[in-house]
Amino acid sequence: MSTVLITGGGSGTGADMARAFAERGHDVVITGRDRAKLDRIAGGRIRAVAGDVSDPDQVARVFAEAGPCQIVIANAGIAEAAPFGKVTMDHWNRIIAVNLTGVFLTFQQGLAQMGPGGRLIAICSIAGLRGAAYAAPYAASKHGVMGLVRSLAQEVAKKDITVNAICPGYLDTEMTQRSIDNVMAKTGRDRAAAIAGIAGRNPQGKLIPPSDVTAAALWLALEGSGAMNGQAITIDGGEGP
C-alpha cells in the first residue's frame, strides 16, 4: 500500500479521509498548524507532522519527515466572508496564502518525490467553478486551484501521475459550522434557520457528509482511475453550474 499525505488532516474532511485510507491499509501522514488537533486523529497507521502549508520551508520539512508519498491530498483551506468593498489586504492575502499557495507548495513538494502511479488530489470547492457572493477572495483562490490542477495535469500526463480536484458544496464540517455562526451573528437568525439557509442551496436540502468527499478521493487513488486527469469531481447534490 502507498503512503498518503493529507494537509488539513486534523479535522473535518481531512480527518475523515485519513481514517478511511488507514482502514484500507495505507500509511497516512496528516499535517496542519494545530498540533493538538492532529494528535487527536493520529494513531495506528496515522502519523502527525505539524506544519503550515503557506510556508515553503515548513512544507519542505513536512515532506522530508513524511518520506516518499504516492498519494498527496491538498485539503487544507480557510473561508471568510465579507462584502467585496470591505475585503482588506490582510483578508485577501490570508485566503490566497492558504487556499492557493498552500496547494501549489504541497503539489510541488509532493511531485518532487513521487513516482509513476502517483496521485495529486486537491480538495477544492464548487466556488472554484462558479462565483460566490460575499466570498470573492475564497472563490478566486479556488478558481486558481482549478487552473493549477488543469495545467499540472497536462505536464505530468505522460509520467503516469494524475492531478484532479474534488469540488464539494457545503459540507457538514467545522468550517461550515463557522459559516453558520457568522450568518447567525450578522442576520439574527437562529441556528436552525441559518442551517436551513445554507443547506437549502443543495437541491437535496442537506449539508454534504465528508464521507462523500472521502469516497471520491479513495476512487481517485485506485489503479482503475488512471485515465482520470485534470478533472473536477463536483459533489453538490445536483446544484449545477
Side-chain half-sphere exposure of 57, counting CA atoms within 13 A? 0
Q: Give the whole-angstrom CA distance, residue 35 versus residue 231.
A: 32
Is 138 noted as a catalytic residue in this protein? yes
Q: Reduce the DSSP state of residue 195 to 3 states and report it.
A: helix
Contacts of 114 (CB under 8 A, 6+ apart): 68, 69, 70, 72, 120, 161
Q: Which residues contact 116 (CB under 8 A, 6 or more apart)?
A: 159, 160, 161
Helix pair 102-112, 136-156: axis angle to 10 deg? 20
Per annotation, catalytic residue among 50, 138, 195, 213: 138
Q: Which of 14, 21, 2 is nearest to 68 (CA)?
A: 2
Contact call for residues 13 and 175 (beta carbons, < 8 A) = no
Residue 99 DSSP one-character state: I
List, by residue number, the catalytic residues.
138
